[in-house]
Structure 1
Amino acid sequence: MLGVGTFVAVLGLTATASTQINERFNVLSATEVTVESAPQDESGVDSPFPVDADQRVKRLNGVEHAGIYWPVQLDQTLAVHSAPVNSLAADTQIRVVAASSGVLEAAEPLLTQGSLFNTWHDDDAQRVAVIGTGMAARLGITTLETQPAIFIGDEAFSVVGIIDNVRRKADLLLSVVIPRSTAEEMWGPPASDVKMIISTRLGAAAQVAAEAPIALDAAHPDHYKVIPPPDPKALRTQVTGDLDQLFMLLAFICLFVGAVGIANTTLVAVLERTGEIGLRRALGARGHHIAAQFLVESGILGALGGLIGTTFAILTIASVALARNWTPVIDLEIVAAAPLLGWATGLLAGLYPAWRASRIQPIAALRR
């Protein structure tokens, strides 16, 4: 019962979980496009994105959000600290990211306090910043009601928002994010490592990936390297295959444990019923008759256990799916074959005990 029930439950829960993973791959991985500027000369300097790059890409059909970002290369003397001055240790490096407002929108953050900076902050080069909860704790910022500020060198930035989580660009949680125009005004345009992140509607990523370089620079689309999302079908197949192999192995291990339990139970029954076996042998039963008796018993035990275990497995799958608000996926062929699998497992588990029983001599058995 335990072996077959666990076998069916594991396979059913694997199929159910795989369905949810497929949906998440479709929603996240299949809706994200990254564009990088490619070096065009021997100096290795990247081609800059146009000032209105966000607006150009957002005009494409299927695009939801788009934004430019890059890590700000700060001088060693420009430490990040909070106000009042509370510098971190000298060897601690806090990453500063310059980003347009579209980057934060594409990341789909979960705000705990405040708000994100918007196009107005970006257009007017406002001294504002958005940080993650972990970064806020490191800088000693617990609330925005006191209008806290952080300093990059001697320049003050008002913290306008604290985010707890993001669906994309998880590295933003460990960074101080400031407007793109502010970074350009203070430290100049970036020399390299400039990227654009684009979030699209489901099914539009491939088309957007093909059109984005042309929208950015119709004369030189080859100046940009586009990283489209991975093929969701291939990725889904790989992940599902890995899960199936892993949990199939676990399911067979559970089934093996159940078989050992049946073998142990049958062997104990043989030892306890030695007198009965001796009596049957004395009345004319042959060894194969005794073996057949115990094989039938272990087979029936396995079939009943498989039937009961399958019932509990279906209830388990349905309960887990209901609790997680998932769609239960149950293979009817596995459900139908589970009692037969239990019967076969019972027969295999009963082979050795049945052989032991058939070898018992009637005189020795009656003496006991």
Structure 2
Amino acid sequence: MAALHQARLTPARMGPADILRVGGVGLRTRPLRAFLSALGIAIGIAAMIAVVGISSSSRAELDRALDALGTNLLTVEPGNTLFGTDAQLPEESIAMIGRIGPVTDVSATGQVFDAKVYRSDRIPAAETGGIATRAARLDLLATVGAELATGTWLNEATARYPAVVLGATAAQRLGITTADPQVQVWLGGRPFTVVGTLAAAPLAPELDTSALIGWTAATQYLGFDGHPTTVYTRVQESQVDAVRSVLGATANPEAPNEVEVSRPSDALAAAQATDDAFTGLLLGLGAVALLVGGVGVANTMVISVLERRAEIGLRRSLGATRGQVRTQFLAESLLLSALGGTGGVVLGILVTSGYAVSQGWPTVVPAWATLGGVGATLVIGGLAGLYPAVRAARLAPTEALAAV
């Protein structure tokens, strides 16, 4: 008899399935309120996932482009003299750089400063469109990793005649969509035939706003002095730093301090660092949205406790312990947060995929972002539901039933 009496006093233990079932009661009975609270969580998680995913996809595209173009490109340009005037690279600098052992390719352009570019001779002189005229070596495209959009590149024949290849931005500003023997531009006071247009050149962005003509044609028609203004150098990957340290003295032995050497991929890396900082800012905004969602969950659970005092009193009268009541409301809060977190992850992945596809990028959503998103919602849900759960557990059966 004593053992039977003791068994009756011992409350039944709730298994995982029981906890899920009682935790879902409040969500099923108040679906609209549960949906709105979960939506607040979902928006915060979706914002975080989308920010991380879009940034990761952008970086993956940048890495893919750098892998295709190579990060072993160095550029040599004239700097300033001791008196602050513009320096010049010697005409022999291209050949001298080419004799450096680890250098695999070298090419150059030379800006023709007095040659303006217009769509026709009817355009006012002041409307230059910011397009620069540059003499170009025939091996330029292979060295900088640029590609043609339309038409052909300069060759031994066209490099001696008034033929021009337009950079991507230059072609756009001049309203030229395709190269054709019938298409001409007014360059340096005479017509030049457009034989090609370039795609954007990430490692040589100055080419995008340039009109490129042959070295010989620039000398013959425009009075080009033959001094290069940018020398592009491809180097063995393992020797980039070593070659970089001697390029200045090699390009201009008499005045190496008047030479500037740069690595275009460093600029892209800096842009990526800027993008990372911007990503951090957006993640902060996403965290604020997530916090707002957590407040919504807490508010929902507090109101649920107030509205369900009679239910709590009845359960306590039927033998439910404080721990079981606390577990019920905590489980309800966690379920609500888990639904919002899962929905937010799915929504964030869809937004990332849609944007990446529209930009032609690979879709990349780090696993840590999805797992962290769901984990963050559970933590916020647990914290948001802790106080309401404790408050519900502290209600005495008589107090709860008296409020009916």
Matched residues, percent identical?
A: 21
TM-score after normalising by structure 1 = 0.71
Check 1:171–1:194 CA distance in 2 against 1; reply closer, same or farther (3 A cut): closer
Indicate whether 1:31 and 2:72 are aligned. Answer: yes
What do residues 297-322 of structure 1 show as CA deviations (whole Å, max 9, x unaligned)? 34542675488569859987997899
Cα distance in 2 for partners of 1:239, 1:154 equals 42
> 1:100 aligned to 2:141?
no
Q: CA RMSD in A?
A: 4.8
Correspondence 1:50 to 2:91 = yes
Find the counterpart in structure 1 of residue 154 from structure 2. 117
Displacement of 1:227 after TM fit? Answer: 2.4
Matched, 1:64 2:105: yes
Structure 1: any 5+ residue segments left out of the alignment? none
Tell me the equivalent position of 2:368: 331
- For 1:287-366, what aligned pairs fall within 5 Å after superposition? 292-293=326-327, 295-298=329-332, 300-301=334-335, 304-305=338-339, 308=342, 324-325=361-362, 329-331=366-368, 335=371, 341-354=376-389, 357=392, 358=394, 362=398, 366=402
Q: How does 1:1-368 map to 2 (within 5 A)?
A: 3=42, 6=46, 9=49, 13=53, 18=59, 21-22=62-63, 24=65, 30-40=71-81, 42=83, 44=85, 46-51=87-92, 53-60=93-100, 61-74=102-115, 80-82=118-120, 85=121, 87-94=122-129, 95-101=131-137, 102-118=139-155, 121-122=158-159, 124=160, 126-132=161-167, 135-136=170-171, 139=174, 141=176, 144-152=179-187, 154-189=189-224, 194-200=229-235, 202-218=237-253, 221-229=256-264, 235=270, 238-239=273-274, 242=277, 245-246=280-281, 248-279=283-314, 292-293=326-327, 295-298=329-332, 300-301=334-335, 304-305=338-339, 308=342, 324-325=361-362, 329-331=366-368, 335=371, 341-354=376-389, 357=392, 358=394, 362=398, 366=402, 368=404
The C-alpha deviation readout for 1:83-138, integer Å capped at 9, x for no partner, is: xx5x223431143322222444444444233212135554x4x3221124664466
Kindly tell me: are residues 311 and 41 of structure 1, through their superposed partners in 2, closer, same or farther at Cα, counting changes over 3 Å?
closer
**Residue 258 to residue 204, structure 1, CA distance change in 2 (3 Å):** farther
Residues 29-53 of structure 1: per-residue CA shift (max 9 Å, x gap): 83332212244465935234225x4
The one-letter amino acid of 1:297's match is A
Q: Which moved more, 1:22-31 or 1:210-219?
A: 22-31
2:353 & 2:86 partners in 1: Cα distance?
57
Q: For 1:32, give the aligned amino acid.
A: L
| Contact 2:110–2:136 (Cα < 8 Å) also in 1 | yes
C-alpha displacement of 1:12: 6.3
Residue 67 of structure 1: how far off its partner (Å): 0.8
| Structure 1 letter corresponding to 2:203 | R
Moved more, 308-317 or 209-218: 308-317
Gaps of 5+ in 2: 1-37
| Residue identity in the other structure for 1:197 | Y
1:70–1:344 distance in 2 versus 1, CA, 3 Å: same
CA contact (8 A) 2:48 2:283 kept: no
Residues 300, 81 of structure 1: alpha-carbon distance in 2 compared, 3 angstrom cutoff: closer
- Asked if the contact 2:117/2:133 (under 8 Å) is kept, the reply is no
What is the TM-score of this pair, normalised by structure 2? 0.65
Return the alpha-carbon distance in structure 1 between the equivalents of residues 132 and 77 of structure 2: 19
Aligned mates of 1:216, 1:295 — CA distance in 2: 75
- AA partner of residue 70 (structure 1): Q
CA distance in 2, matches of 1:348, 1:217: 67
Q: 1:171 to 1:156 in 2, by over 3 A?
A: same
Q: Secondary structure at the match of 1:209?
A: helix
Distance 1:26 1:50 in 2: 32
The CA deviation string for residues 190-237 of structure 1, in whole angstroms up to 9 with x for no partner, is: 599923233446454323323433443456544423224576998599
Residue identity matched to 1:168: L
For residues 8 and 41 of structure 1, the distance between their equivalents in structure 2, rounded to whole angstroms, comes to 52
